[in-house]
Amino acid sequence: MLFYRTVTVLAMTTVFPLLTAAAGTEFLSTLASTLPTYKTWSSIGCQRDSIHGRVLKHLITLSNTTVGACLDACLVDDYALAGLEDGHECYCGNAILYDYPQPPTCTFPCAGNSSELCGGPESLTLYQNADMPFTVGNASLLSTYGLWGFWGCVEESGRLLANGPKVPIPTEEMSVERCTDGCAAASFNTAGLERGQECYCGNTTTAWPSGWESTNLVECSLPCLGNATEFCGGTLDGGRFVAYSMLPGFGPTPPDWLQQSCWIDNVTSNGGTHLLSRAPNVTIPGAEMTIEKCISACDTAPGYNVSAGLVSGDECWCGDYSVTPGVLAYTGCDTRCTGNGREICGGEEVMLIYSNPITALQSYSTFFRNWSLQGCFIDEAWLTGGPRLLPTLSPVLPDDLHSRRCMDSCAGMSFTSAGVELGNECWCGNISYTPAPGVIAPISDCNSRCTDDPFETCGGVNRLQLYHFV
């Protein structure tokens, strides 16, 4: 039986289940803690963590780890959450940034007090400070807010938005709403969020400013520290920000689809065809074109549901491949959609492309040489100490990975099985059987983008995307 705990999250209420240990694949388990309460803190269960994306943002160094020492340290800065892991690590935060599906295991005694539990391997014993609100990821794109609309994920080499909001926003309170409100109060029409905690403002006058380079939305997917349900820009070392504007922009992206930037679409030089050459099965009147309608039409086009492209504000085209289509268009992607003037639908001889990486993943199994996709599988050898599904690490460099390169590498070493994991790992071996049902994971668990082809997925966290040579 499920019991539910209600947690107030900013201006909304989120309800999530508290589960028994046997059902520990959900958000929290009710594994017992030897210290259920401490001062203003209460234990709220055991939560799975990962070295690839920490559930709580801030690591606190303690000389002698106990539950009390960790909670006292987090209380100094008034954090809503505290967690202990691996017997000796202490973390604080105001949001559960990632909600990992794997069961947690909180069984390690604290280094400073063996009678208390301090998490386990990649598992946090979690505590909440009084009834302070907190948000729970995983994050997604907030498409619109008030008069603001999502504009794109922008790559920058210098500071493209040079101003700050009218009133500085504490990093632990950062969210899309706080940033855009702050920029509007300072009379700016463009806002950018970066590193999950930074807000920048500026004024732009064109649909896509000169010098801005659009990049894959997955590169702007760090959760906001003040609201873990929202994207707040890119990598921890900067260089990617998620942009919002009161001007027309690229608009919202439907679930499972990713924006793949704008590309030169010169029909004459392409031999009379567009980059994506199939018209959707559903007719969209030219005066009603929007990003959402085009993607929806392509999503239901059998055999052509991998990519969707918009041209000239009123044209929609679909495609059956997910490879990089040609030359990026740094200018000219500025024509408003006829059905929604706040969105951009490509430009003259410029195609704005979206793709569905899960569909693309499944498509590769049907036409990439003799390799066939077997599915997504649990591969937690580095946690359990047991053998990997595939034992040999390929020499493919982490920054150069996509599934076809991994398959080629494994074939070159005379292996008949290839697997990609975490977006940047390629593993090889010889498996003459399909792994047991107990290690099969949902295909949606293999959701890490390949480092050298963001149109495609390459496994996930402890998830191997497995191919066989047939």
Q: Distance between CA atoms of 240 and 233, rounded to whole angstroms?
A: 6
Strands 28-29 and 12-19: parallel
Higher-pLDDT residue of 92 and 29 is: 92
Closest CA to 122 of 73, 50, 178: 50
pLDDT at 271 over 80: no
How distant, in Å, are the alpha carbons of 10, 154, 239, 352, 403 from that of 308? 36, 20, 27, 8, 22
Peptide bond into 370 cis (omega under 30): no
Residue 40 DSSP code: T
Give the rounded percent of residues in the chain with a pLDDT score beyond 70.
Answer: 80
Which of 45, 11, 16, 51 shows the shortest CA–CA distance to 29? 45
User: 380 and 430 in contact (C-beta within 8 Å)?
Assistant: no
Phi, psi (deg, nearest 5) at residue 16: -135, 155
Q: Give the pLDDT confidence score for residue 238 in this predicted structure.
A: 61
- What is the H or E stretch that residue 241 is in? strand 240-245
pLDDT of 359 over the 70 cut: no
In this predicted structure, which of 49-53, 432-436, 460-464 has the lowest mean pLDDT?
Answer: 432-436
Q: Which of 22-31, 188-197, 291-300 has the lowest mean pLDDT?
A: 22-31
> What's the rounded Cα separation, in Å, for the pair 297 and 399?
34
Q: Which two tokens stand for residue 75?
A: 């209380």
Residue 314: HSE in the Cβ half-sphere, 13 Å Cα cutoff: 5
8 Å CB contact between 49 and 102: no
Q: Does the pLDDT of residue 7 top 60, yes or no?
A: no
Q: What single DSSP character describes residue 362?
A: H
Q: Distance between CA atoms of 79 and 127, rounded to whole angstroms?
A: 10
Average pLDDT, stretch 31-58? 87
Tens of pLDDT, residues 203-227: 887 656 767 777 777 778 888 999 9
Q: What's the pLDDT tens digit per position in 411-458?
A: 889 998 999 998 889 999 988 666 665 688 877 778 777 877 665 778
Mean predicted lDDT score pLDDT of the chain: 80
Q: How far is CA 93 from CA 182, 217, 225, 241, in A?
A: 23, 25, 8, 22
User: In which band, very low, low, confident or very high, does the pLDDT at 29 lie, cut at 50, 70 and 90?
Assistant: very low
Strand partners, 305: 319
For the chain, the straight-line distance linking the first and the last C-alpha, in angstroms and rounded, comes to: 45
**Given this model, what pLDDT does residue 420 score?**
92
Residue type, 161: L
Q: Determine the Cα angle at 447 with ends 248 and 451, to 5°.
A: 80
From the list 375, 372, 418, the residue with the least C-alpha distance to 394 is: 418
CA dist., res. 100 & res. 181, Å (int): 31
Tell me which residue of 205, 220, 215, 147 sits closest to 334, measured CA to CA: 205
pLDDT of residue 3: 23
Which DSSP string corresponds to 151-200? Answer: EEEEE-SS-SS-B--SS---GGG--HHHHHHHHHHTT-SEEEEETTTEEE
Sorted by sequence, the CB contacts under 8 Å of residue 168 that are 6+ apart come out as: none
6 pLDDT band, cuts 50/70/90, is very low
The candidate with the shortest Cα–Cα distance to 461, out of 165, 128, 99, 142, is: 99
Q: Which of 351, 359, 350, 294 is nearest to 321 (CA)?
A: 359
3-state class percentages of the chain: helix first, strand second, coil last, to nearest 5: 15, 35, 50
Question: In whole angstroms, what is the distance from residue 153 CA to residue 333 CA?
Answer: 14
